[in-house]
Amino acid sequence: MIKNICVFCSSSNYLDNAYYDDAKKLGKLIGQNGYNIVYGGSTLGMMWACASKVKNNGGKIYGVMPQKLVEMGCRTDNCDKFFLAEGMRDRKAKMDNISDAVIAMAGGFGTLEELTEMIVQKQLGYNKKAIVILNTNGFYDNLLEFFNQILDEKFANKFTKELFYVASTPEEVINYIKNYKEPDFTPSKHEIYSREN
């Protein structure tokens, strides 16, 4: 059962308002639908726009932050639970361990790394979590085109397209998660490395 949703997104305060608007809508829906958020633990950018709305709408917020960012003063005291990580790798592992689903909103290099790692984890059978990309303003269009190139040129098996879902609105994200059913198979060597399809 999905209870804790990990949200990866930008910590920038300098974005177009459309990104913050979607972050707030998503946070509101997460809280209203009985979910909690696992996120980076700060009061910055889309991260806090989303997390604060989760808390305002009945959900709990679980923050995970590496020591270096705590020392920079990025931490919020508004988390229901706060987890201190040694570094970014530990942070990602903790976020993975305490979440049941993953949403990637618009973000920078950190978000990209987090998203692709979760796709690979699922590709190799380490998890069966719902992974959703919220494509606000077509932000991920070019990345998705690059994903297609990876598949077309046989750098990955085409079954990997089934590992994540692309949504256009926060409502679509939540609807997908509410109806998500874990795949009932464990990827085999053939399914991972074959390029027959």
pTM > 0.85: yes or no: yes
Phi/psi class of residue 137: alpha, beta or left (left: φ > 0; alpha: ψ in -120 to 50)? left
In this structure, of 54-63, 133-142, 174-183, 187-196, the range with the lowest mean pLDDT score is 187-196
Domains and their CATH numbers in the chain: 4-193 (3.40.50.450)
- Percentage with pLDDT > 90 across the chain: 90
First to last CA, the chain: 32
Pairing label, strands 36-39, 61-66: parallel
The tens digit of pLDDT for each residue in 76-116 reads 999 999 999 999 999 999 999 999 999 999 999 999 999 99
Place 196 in a pLDDT band, splitting at 50, 70 and 90.
Answer: low
- From the list 80, 101, 109, 84, the residue with the least C-alpha distance to 6 is 101
Eight-class DSSP state of 156: S
- Token pair of 64, please? 């995970």
What's the pLDDT at 60? 98
Residue 147, CA distances (Å) to 6, 66, 143, 160, 172 in order: 22, 30, 6, 10, 21
How many residues would you count in the chain?
A: 197
What's the pLDDT at 172? 98
